[in-house]
Amino acid sequence: GEEYIPVRALLPGLPRDHPESYHSFMWNNFFKHIDILAENVHILDGNAADLQAECIGPDGHIAFNEPGSSLVSRTRVKTLAMDTILANARFFDGDLSKVPTMALTVGVGTVMDAREVMILITGAHKAFALYKAIEEGVNHMWTVSAFQQHPKTVFVCDEDATLELKVKTVKYFKGLMLVHNKLVEPLYSMKETEAERSQPKKPYSD
């Protein structure tokens, strides 16, 4: 099977089997449901012995690359912003003292090295981040905007997330999708026909 590197971050100090560790999250919600060997899954190790200090949010951060992060940053430990700590408190019964203050995260530059990137943005609370990501220029205060410069990035969003976009921008991308669907539908039909032909015929019986 192929190798996958999740565009998520880890919280140093949490054991791999902790229910709030990203290792547990990624394994339980993704990897155990797909055809991949465990040895081909490489999730960042937040408890590696040699570490000294090592999705997009409403503020446009991707992984834990908070506003102001370098757009050429690599995998590293980042100090979390207070807003991020407060947002993650819900996973620790609202107890701020239990929320890690640092996170091991892939860097913006690390993600930019991927051949393809898919960024999921949903909800009205992330609408301004989507606006900054595609309608304004590249800005290190909105790290998600860096992916304007990636050759194969796809932004996937719901209607609520488009509330801050110009109407003509939404219409433009919806138009692209219509054209795209018309182009790929014949390909899917051909594959379905080929699959049906390759199916062994059932023997006739009275």
d(CA 158, CA 181): 18
| Helices within the chain (DSSP H only) | 22-29, 82-88, 108-112, 127-134, 167-198
Closest of 154, 145, 72 to residue 113, by C-alpha: 72
pLDDT over 90 at 169, yes or no: yes
The pLDDT value recorded for residue 7 is 38
Mean pLDDT is lowest, of 27-36, 48-57, 170-179, for 48-57
pLDDT > 90 fraction of the chain, expressed in percent and rounded: 32
Q: What is the mean pLDDT of the chain?
A: 79
The pLDDT value recorded for residue 138 is 97
User: How would residue 3 be classed by pLDDT, with cut points 50, 70 and 90?
Assistant: very low
Closest of 40, 39, 48, 43 to residue 26, by C-alpha: 43
